[in-house]
Structure 1
């Protein structure tokens, strides 16, 4: 059986929270650091260039929120690593892209496919939900090695709502929910506006949204924070609202629910966005065009109120595998593997998140909570 993702619960000052995080899972933090340092190695990034690039991002992170840099410093000390290694984990998308530009190495189609942090996500609104609450879910598609680097992190905060996030060890945020009932998930997009400006690392934009007491402020964080590259982020709150933002670096395009659902994969769907920019993600995510169609179709089939198990069933879909919603490990053109590394289901009204590692190979979920300890969930049929 595939082991569940480790659960780490932290509290205290930003530095102390980070130190607890790093000390709890030092091996996973080190694996994360090695994994992303390896991406720079493959680009031929020299140590001096690497240090200058990370220092540039360090200054940007401090300007966005100094407490984030303190938390990263704590993670570094707890895991016995340099602060640079933790900054690399949290800004890995942007740092690798900037290193590629400095090396004057355009990305080829094979590399693009393997670098695409894919994903298929959905939100079920209360009018379609059997519980009368929001249900949000996501398949995180990335490289299978990251099944050994991810964790579920609970952060007890004195200055805002507690939060629960599925994240790579050493990271501050990715997919998750908070005690105010706000959920955030996200997935990969590309456009012709990418890497033309400086921006806040996407992981920290998601973390900022998860720290908010009010959905309006979470929306502001997602929609108005400058970014270096495109992304898609889904936001919901258990009071019964959800919205998707297709984000270019300098502009955000809202996508509203249809028939009580939002479904999104890795291509742009906003008419306003498509009128103003060019979707450049086709080479890495051609299957996106039927993945979101499949999930919506499967959620519409029951003709009854939907449950968390219905969303799991849709995200387990293997139509046209291995280029499917739920992806088994498969080699790309350059030999690296890609897969659905985790399936994440969130019910904010219940304060729970269920996560299964490598869902194409394993259907055992663990239930994580804002309030209690992790528990195993019956294996999905």
Structure 2
């Protein structure tokens, strides 16, 4: 697999116009994203009619909840020369794959991993908040992901790393609000269908204020559990461990938040049952490894220190920075990308497949706190 920097796609204008431009610029990578997940479903015995069936279950709710994002996805489909259900598949792939497996009684053998961290300004050398994560998922996504810069007329501009065709994954906006996310699982999952996760992350990144971004993540109903870490360049962060119908807040300890793929909130664990550790037992030490490295640098943490913690290879291959590993079910898993952000400076650095490549590419966004008031 060739390691290349993730291409930058810049879009502007109205939602449908943005989508068309996105689809045209990232056409090949979007097709790769669709083929990857359609192939996963094919191996489970599902065809195109099933993709249409699964994705259609989300359409009415999404049209009511975020009609602008539906317009943008329709534009992406047009620009990429694909049908709408293919773009929905990319943006609801976690939920669709889970529904498909549950329909056939097949266990999930490829959870979307990740280890994330935020370091508060009081613990960094430059007095600026640092936020980053490793995204552990299908190694093939190193060739089907992009960085998307969205210049918006109706609110803050957005810079996000995402799978091609996706609305958002990790990133920040010009108001200084950042987000990363990690897999979680509980016994409350998939009792009902909620809003797919990329839509929630995108809406959080469109928020004009940190409190409004937190509200989007905390109160929006979800199909399954997920952990989302939100930060603000003003100097604070909150981690929200989300069950489908409830969110549990974790605040910085010793000037940082570190999270992997198991529940940490004592309140959450008193109310629900952790069901994901069978697939990610390494989560129990990954966050501790990152925290240990960062705490040794308290008061002097730099982005290089955060990178060093995320490069940790203790207990490889089940480690913080995971090399490509073929799992029993055939899935090729890896740390697909390391993303490190300084939102005060408007900088995101990303290394594809960091276990085998330590070259970062820098992506920038013009930061303007007053940009948050463009639509006020």
- TM superposition score normalised by structure 2: 0.95
Q: What residue number does 2:52 align with? A: 51
Instruction: Report the secondary structure of 1:122's partner residue.
Output: strand
Q: What residue number does 1:15 align with? A: 16
* Matched-pair contact (CA < 8 Å) for 2:51–2:85: no
What are structure 2's unaligned runs of at least 5 residues? 368-376
Deviation, 1:197, is 1.1
Task: Pick the aligned partner of 1:151 from 146, 151, 159.
Answer: 146
Q: Aligned in 2, Cα 1:303/1:222: closer, same or farther, shift over 3 Å? A: closer
Instruction: Report the secondary structure of 2:344's partner residue.
Output: helix
Deviation, 1:106, is 3.0
Deviation, 1:46, is 4.2
> For 1:120-269, what aligned pairs fall within 5 Å after superposition?
120-269=115-264
Superposed CA deviations along residues 205-252 of structure 1, whole A, max 9, x for unmatched, are 000100001011100000000000000000000101100000000000
Asked if 1:70 corresponds to 2:71, the answer is yes
Task: Pick the aligned partner of 1:334 from 309, 329, 345.
Answer: 329
Distance 1:284 1:116 in 2: 7
Distance 2:221 2:299 in 1: 41
Task: Pick the aligned partner of 1:318 from 277, 294, 313.
Answer: 313
Q: Which runs of 4+ in 1 moved over 4 A?
A: none
Q: What residue number does 1:95 align with? A: 96
> For 1:334-373, what aligned pairs fall within 5 Å after superposition?
334-371=329-366
Distance 2:263 2:182 in 1: 11
Q: What residue number does 1:309 align with? A: 304
Distance 2:152 2:329 in 1: 43
Distance 1:212 1:222 in 2: 11
Instruction: Report the secondary structure of 1:217's partner residue.
Output: helix
Distance 1:322 1:197 in 2: 35
Deviation, 1:2, is 2.3
Instruction: Report the secondary structure of 2:58's partner residue.
Output: helix
Deviation, 1:303, is 4.6
Deviation, 1:48, is 3.3
Instruction: Report the secondary structure of 1:75's partner residue.
Output: helix
Distance 2:49 2:349 in 1: 42
Superposed CA deviations along residues 341-365 of structure 1, whole A, max 9, x for unmatched, are 0000010100010000000000000
Instruction: Report the secondary structure of 2:4's partner residue.
Output: coil
Q: What residue number does 1:375 align with? A: none
Moved more, 235-244 or 331-340: 331-340
Deviation, 1:59, is 1.6
Instruction: Report the secondary structure of 2:248's partner residue.
Output: strand
Instruction: Report the secondary structure of 2:224's partner residue.
Output: coil
Superposed CA deviations along residues 288-308 of structure 1, whole A, max 9, x for unmatched, are 000000000000113541110
Instruction: Report the secondary structure of 1:60's partner residue.
Output: helix
Deviation, 1:105, is 2.0
Distance 1:148 1:47 in 2: 23
Q: What residue number does 2:105 align with? A: 105
Distance 2:210 2:298 in 1: 30
Note the aligned Cα RMSD (angstroms): 1.2
Instruction: Report the secondary structure of 2:221's partner residue.
Output: coil
Instruction: Report the secondary structure of 1:306's partner residue.
Output: coil
Deviation, 1:47, is 3.7
Aligned residues: 366
Superposed CA deviations along residues 248-304 of structure 1, whole A, max 9, x for unmatched, are 000000011001000000000000000011110111110000000000000011354
Distance 1:41 1:182 in 2: 38
* Matched-pair contact (CA < 8 Å) for 2:174–2:366: no
Distance 1:85 1:168 in 2: 13
Asked if 1:117 corresponds to 2:112, the answer is yes
Deviation, 1:60, is 2.0
Distance 2:54 2:315 in 1: 41
Distance 2:337 2:275 in 1: 25
Distance 1:266 1:233 in 2: 11
